[in-house]
């Protein structure tokens, strides 16, 4: 066990994290959470290089990850600045800064470890699923990616929730799921059952996730290229 702990520590030290902007005020606090998330998901020794970009102009909680499906050693993470504070503070920002430009004051005492851990664990879980099970968006038609990604999001948050790790609650994820997929023909009759199945699933293969999406579309025929919505927790993978 001692050798294993030493190996894990060496893997963690080998992880290089680069920030943009480099002078981000919460960098030190956030990097500790990010490294903990890499270790929690068993990605220490898999991921060696993380590029982290903070969208200082976005006070919401959007986040996404990009990686090369053939090489998981490097990834790019992007976080809206709202990921670093609580939901209550984001709501307060919306009330007081909704009509004002610029960034609200952001100090270490406002940092929410749980909120940022939620974003980190979710985004890195997308990379882990590709690494361990070959799940990614690269083979999914462009018009289906948003829907497929939301099914994937439900599966991820259900697993994190069962492990007692920071994640969207079932109700929060359910609302995003409905908002994203309710335009699909089979959603009214199949949507809730599929949500429950994904939320409780432990192991899925890419074909199984795809089958759930095909089942939703089996309810009728509409153009799959419907108006796209931007939702939080959106991975991007590159061939």
Band of pLDDT at residue 9, cut at 50, 70 and 90: low
∠ CA 77-180-237, rounded to 5°: 30
What percent of the chain has a predicted confidence (pLDDT) above 90?
72
Is residue 235 very low, low, confident or very high in pLDDT (cuts 50, 70, 90)?
low
CB 237 within 8 A of CB 166: no
pLDDT-wise least confident of 81-85, 100-104, 112-116, 176-180: 100-104
* Residue 208, pLDDT score: 95
Looking at per-residue pLDDT, the higher value among 51 and 97 belongs to: 51
Whether 100 and 169 map to the same domain: the answer is no
Other C-beta atoms within 10 Å of 154: how many?
27
Same domain, 105 and 146: no
Q: Note whether residue 118 is domain-resident.
A: no
pLDDT recorded at residue 8: 52
Q: What is the pLDDT of residue 78?
A: 98
User: In this structure, is residue 50 part of a structural domain?
Assistant: yes
Residue 238 lies in a domain: no
Same domain for 155 and 98?
no
Domain-located, residue 31: yes
* Per-residue confidence (pLDDT) for residue 213, from 0 to 100: 95
Return d(Cα 236, Cα 223) in angstroms, integer. Answer: 23
Of the candidates 170, 172, 178, 184, the one whose C-alpha atom is nearest the C-alpha of residue 214 is: 184
Q: Are residues 96 and 148 part of one domain?
A: no
Same domain, 100 and 149: no
Q: Is residue 131 in a domain?
A: no
Q: Are 216 and 189 in contact (CB under 8 A)?
A: no
Work out the average pLDDT over 62-84: 95
Q: Is residue 218 part of a domain?
A: yes
Q: How many domains does the chain have?
A: 2
Q: How confident is the model at residue 12 (pLDDT cuts 50, 70, 90)?
A: low
* DSSP-assigned letters across all residues of 19-59: EESTT-TTHHHHHHHHHHHHHHTT-BTTB-EEEEEEETT--
Please report whether residue 90 resides in a domain. yes
Tens-place pLDDT, residues 129-170:
999 999 999 878 999 999 999 999 999 999 999 999 999 999
Same domain, 148 and 203: yes
pLDDT class for 203, splitting at 50, 70, 90? very high
> Which residue has better confidence, 11 or 108?
108
> Within this chain, do residues 200 and 162 fall inside the same structural domain, yes or no?
yes
CA distance 214 to 94: 38
Name the most confidently modeled range: 51-60, 91-100, 195-204: 195-204
**Nearest one of 89, 94, 156, 164 to 127, comparing CA atoms:** 156
Other C-beta atoms lying within 10 Å of the C-beta of residue 19: 18
What is the span of the domain harbouring residue 160? 142-227
Together in a domain, 17 and 108: yes
Greater confidence (177 vs 138) lies with: 177
| CA nearest neighbour of 191 among 166, 170, 219 | 219
Return d(Cα 22, Cα 107) in angstroms, integer: 16
What integer pLDDT is reported at residue 198 of this predicted model? 98
Residues 106 and 155 reside in one and the same domain: no
Q: Do 106 and 19 reside in the same domain of the chain?
A: yes
Whether 211 maps to a domain, the answer reads yes
Strand duo 63-68 + 71-80: pairing: antiparallel
Same domain, 34 and 97: yes
Q: Could you read off the pLDDT of 14-46 as tens digits, one per residue?
A: 899 999 999 999 999 999 999 999 999 999 999
Residues 31 and 93 in one domain: yes
Q: Edge to edge, what strands does the sheet with 71-80 contain?
A: 16-20, 49-55, 71-80, 63-68, 236-238
pTM of the model: 0.86
CA 89 to chain centre: 20
């Amino acid at each position: 066990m001692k050798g294993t702990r030493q190996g894990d520590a060496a893997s963690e030290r080998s992880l290089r994290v680069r920030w943009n902007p480099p002078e981000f005020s919460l960098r030190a606090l956030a990097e500790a959470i990010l490294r903990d998330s890499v270790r929690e998901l068993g990605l220490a020794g898999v991921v060696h290089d993380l590029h982290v970009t903070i969208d200082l102009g976005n006070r919401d909680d959007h986040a996404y990850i990009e990686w090369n499906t053939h090489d998981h050693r490097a990834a790019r993470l992007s976080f809206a600045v709202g990921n670093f504070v609580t939901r209550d503070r984001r709501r307060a920002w919306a009330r007081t800064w909704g009509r004002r430009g610029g960034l609200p004051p952001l100090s270490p005492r406002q940092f929410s470890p749980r909120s940022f851990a939620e974003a980190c664990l979710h985004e890195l879980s997308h990379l882990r699923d590709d690494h361990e099970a070959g799940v990614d968006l690269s083979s999914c038609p462009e018009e289906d990616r948003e829907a497929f990604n939301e099914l994937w999001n439900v599966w991820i948050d259900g697993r994190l929730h069962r492990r007692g790790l920071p994640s969207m609650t079932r109700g929060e994820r359910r609302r995003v799921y409905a908002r994203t997929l309710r335009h699909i023909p089979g959603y009214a009759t199949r949507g809730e059952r599929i949500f429950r199945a994904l939320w409780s699933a432990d192991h899925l293969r890419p074909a199984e996730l795809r089958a759930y999406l095909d089942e939703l579309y089996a309810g009728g025929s509409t153009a799959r290229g419907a108006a796209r919505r931007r939702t939080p927790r959106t991975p991007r993978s590159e061939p």
